[in-house]
Structure 1
Amino acid sequence: MSTTEFEDPHLLADFLALETPEGYRAELVAGEIVLSPPQDGGHEAVIGRVLRQVFRADREFDYGGNKGLVVPGGRYVPDGTFTERGAMQGQLPLPAPFGFALDTADLFG
């Protein structure tokens, strides 16, 4: 796994070794480790609506619900990532963007 120039190697090692509480997710954002609690049912209902709309319009996408990405500014685990079909096969847990089509965070901020 490659690092980006802004990451402290000690912080990255701590991040990768972190054991998060059940249901929580960890992200490395702008040089800080951020823990996010589990989402509520309303949040999951919105994700379901997005999935239905996308797959109704174009079934040639794959969807990853917890696929982390390394992008400029940090290492994120978005609520959902759509990729070209088959692009997730063989990818590391936190790869650089690959076959990237849509991150659901783009829709809801």
Structure 2
Amino acid sequence: MAMPLPAPDEAFSASEETPDFEGASVRETFELFSASAPKGWRVELIEGEIYVVPPANGEHEEIVSELSGQVRDHDKGLGRYTGIGLSLPGVNDVVRVIPDLAIAPKGSFGDEQDWHAPDPVLLVAEVTSASTASRDRVLKIRAYARAEIPVYLLIDRETGEAVVCSEPMGDDYAHKSLHKLGTEVPLPAPLGFTLDTSEF
């Protein structure tokens, strides 16, 4: 029987108990939500809270597609993964996220696991939506930095900026550069090429 999902993008904290999941831990509740989510929906666990995100709109997906295409044109040896689950270290518990785009060498995720260690990931990208922007700007910076993912690219549609975060250090990135969307955005090593955001 399908389990009821929370309203889209509604957070459930670790300390919360709901009638349907009485006595279940936040990790168990997360697993139940993940198994019950309709195709295209994302269920994430960040800092003890569960987030359910509906499918993205067309503009969002066009940006992800353009990003993916430019990475492919730069280096055909890199895999471009949308919908890959990453299991990251958290402060008190594991963090489970599904980035809009993850870049890693081809073959990095050739197993049958649902959640993967972030070790091979060279870059993660998130494209904001109105409901996810605050998480992408704060919680995910912390999560990706703690996992020592070399580059986090945030395409912030609300502010019209691309934020390039590099040099992870603790729960933040030591270097952040802001660029207006529509301009050329240099991506540091290990990618090391210039992203054209004129189509964004």
TM-score tier after normalising by the smaller chain length: 0.7 to 0.9
Aligned to 1:11: 26
Aligned to 2:184: none
Q: Give the Cα separation in 1 of the matches to 2:67 and 2:38.
A: 27
Deviation at 1:21, TM superposition (A): 3.7
RMSD: 2.0
Aligned to 1:31: 48
Q: Counterpart of 1:34 in 2: which secondary structure?
A: strand
Structure having greater relative contact order (Cα 8 Å, sep ≥ 6): 1
Unaligned 5+ runs, structure 2: 1-13, 16-23, 127-151, 156-200
Q: How many residue pairs are counted as aligned between the two chains?
A: 103
1:76 corresponds to 2:91: no
Higher alpha-carbon Rg: 2
> More displaced, 39-48 or 20-29?
20-29
Structure 1 vs Structure 2: percent identity of aligned residues? 28
More helix by share: 1
Of 134, 154, 157 in structure 2, the residue corresponding to residue 108 of structure 1 is 154
1:59 corresponds to 2:80: no
Q: Residue by residue, what CA displacement relative to the aligned partner does 1:64-89 show, whole Å, maximum 9, x if unpaired?
A: 21001011332101111111121111
1:97 corresponds to 2:118: yes
The answer to whether the 8 A contact 1:87-1:98 is kept is no
Q: Counterpart of 2:116 in 1: which secondary structure?
A: coil
Taking structure 2 as the reference length, the TM-score comes to 0.47
> More displaced, 51-60 or 93-102?
93-102
Q: Give the Cα separation in 1 of the matches to 2:122 and 2:30.
A: 27
The answer to whether the 8 A contact 1:20-1:26 is kept is yes
